[in-house]
Structure 1
Amino acid sequence: MVTEYESTQAAEIEAWKRAKPAILSRRFGTLPKRFNWAVDQIVPYIPLSQTFGWLDKTAVWLSDERVIVRDAGVSQRDELQEKDLNLSDRLAEGTHRWAMGLAAAEGAVTGVTGLMGLVADIPAVVTLALRTIYRTGLCYGFDVKNEREVALGILAVSGANNMEEKTEALTRLEAVLSQLSPGGGHSNSDNVTSIDRSKVTAQQLARQLSVNLAKRKALQTVPMIGALVGGSVNAWYIRDVSLAARRVFQDQWLRQNHKLAHVAA
């Protein structure tokens, strides 16, 4: 039996997949030339490609499953895969609010220091984004900490600057999710291919994230408004990541419970 709430969420998943990236994301995709110098200065000093694995491990360590299990009132995380979509959504909402608040505070502090603050700020907000994805998955009963491709796909979707990028990222993410069994693992036949693809994608996405976040936060280099820009852009970015993660795991929950046919993009 499909509840009214589940039907409503399925419709919202479909609407999210079809929606164009926010106007500000599209604007940052074509940043005015007067800010390009800031991006050119920042990106080479952000070692995201080299440190992405460490950021990911930190995010995994911070995504404490016990808190989700306690707040949900269940004995183990797996129960949330079948329990109640509304409950999982409430858990995810709490995770999102906390992450946005922390991102805003961190961005405001680093925003005061201008260019050098950005070098530290971007890896920090990427770690928080990864942690948010893993925590959101736990809210729906899915442990994807060992499935980095899922996190990479959600980051790519949420960071898209236009509909073409978003559609391509969604297609890749759906291919990855289709390989995941209900237990959260890849099928044996696809395991090696998936690992190889993950390594390539991580390097490519790290570079894309460096550029995209530097573009979004270029105004952070302007004196007097750096803290305001840093805090607001961080919160906005985490909001985008949180929404993408929520829709992806809602979709997985509905499919796994055979509530509705998969909502196609």
Structure 2
Amino acid sequence: MNGKYTVYEQQTAKALIRWEKELLRTPGLFEKTSKAVQTRINQVIPEKVHTAITAAVKGIVRSALFTMDYIPKNEPLAAASLAERDHKAAELLAFYKKLAAAEGAGTGAGGLLLGLADFPILIGIKMKFLFELAHVYGHSTLDYRERLYILHIFQLAFSSQSIKPALLRTLAEWPETSKSLPPADSFESHIDWRQLQQEYRDTIDFRKMLQLVPGIGAVVGAWANYGLLEELGQTGMNVYRMRWLAARS
């Protein structure tokens, strides 16, 4: 273990090893069964629903990347330890999980149309959380490279097992990756929108599509949104912890 690490950082490094193994593990029977059920659900959902989800993903992500809408008003946190940042990140995540659950319950109780409206709202909540999380760990989202970093975290949280290793490697090697990024005014052309939309939609469909089922929408909406924010939060926090430790090594 690196002698420069504090005791807390040493414990975090060990936890990250376990997290990475879990993140990259081969899908088990439950995941494979869920995927089969999800495929069946996809087949009965109208195409206009899938089209709406696809448009929502691209619209919200483009807004996050290319406008000032999601940039926090507060400055990135400076002069704080990893333990202090983790504590603030946990508080931030708890707030956004409650927000997402309340939003999911409200739209889930409203039937198909409000259920569909939940998709772009939830993506916006996720992006807002990630932008604030970046500032907790000391990274300014005014830098377009940090916004691209956030996009990679988003993809890592909501992607299939087949592309997670490449995404994690890109994030782990970010100092080198960022050097080869195109200029701010042209990097959109390097984003694979089709893959981003498809991976996100397929990853969340199983839970979110159940929200559109009459009678159970409110309960499922709250459950799905809370769980999706938890997954995103843990992924985001661990990636920023990984980056912190790499900078300290």
Mapped contact 2:65–2:148 kept (Cα < 8 A): no
Name the CA shift for 1:214/1:226 in 2 (closer, same or farther; >3 Å). Answer: same
What corresponds to 1:31 in structure 2? 37
Mapped contact 2:97–2:230 kept (Cα < 8 A): yes
Deviations 1:66-108 (A, max 9, x none): 2xxxxxxxxx63624xx31110001101110011000001111
- Answer with 50-59 or 30-39: which moved more: 50-59
Q: How does 1:69-148 map to 2 (within 5 A)?
A: 77=76, 79-80=78-79, 83-145=80-142, 146-147=144-145, 148=147
Distance in 1 between residues matched to 2:35 and 2:183, nearest whole Å: 34
- Which among 58, 64, 83 is matched to residue 56 of structure 1? 64
Per-residue deviation, 1:167: 1.6
What corresponds to 1:231 in structure 2? 222
What corresponds to 1:245 in structure 2? 236
Say which SS state the counterpart of residue 139 (structure 2) adopts. Answer: coil
Per-residue deviation, 1:157: 1.2
What corresponds to 1:169 in structure 2? 167
Distance in 2 between residues matched to 1:64 and 1:192, nearest whole Å: 23
In structure 2, runs of 5+ residues without a counterpart are none
Distance in 2 between residues matched to 1:129 and 1:9, nearest whole Å: 24
Distance in 1 between residues matched to 2:242 and 2:175, nearest whole Å: 12
- Which among 2, 5, 17 is matched to residue 5 of structure 2? 2
Name the CA shift for 1:63/1:239 in 2 (closer, same or farther; >3 Å). Answer: farther
Q: How many residues are matched?
A: 239
Distance in 2 between residues matched to 1:193 and 1:137, nearest whole Å: 19
Distance in 1 between residues matched to 2:85 and 2:126, nearest whole Å: 19
RMSD (CA atoms): 3.0
Name the CA shift for 1:50/1:126 in 2 (closer, same or farther; >3 Å). Answer: closer
Percent identical among aligned pairs is 22
Q: TM-score, normalized by length of structure 2?
A: 0.82
Mapped contact 2:108–2:218 kept (Cα < 8 A): yes
In structure 1, runs of 5+ residues without a counterpart are 67-75, 181-185, 261-265
Name the CA shift for 1:113/1:212 in 2 (closer, same or farther; >3 Å). Answer: farther
- 1:206 paired to 2:197: yes
Q: Match for 1:252: what amino acid?
A: R
- 1:158 paired to 2:149: no
Q: TM-score, normalized by length of structure 1?
A: 0.77
Deviations 1:97-123 (A, max 9, x none): 011000001111111133322321111
Q: Match for 1:114: what amino acid?
A: G
Per-residue deviation, 1:33: 5.0
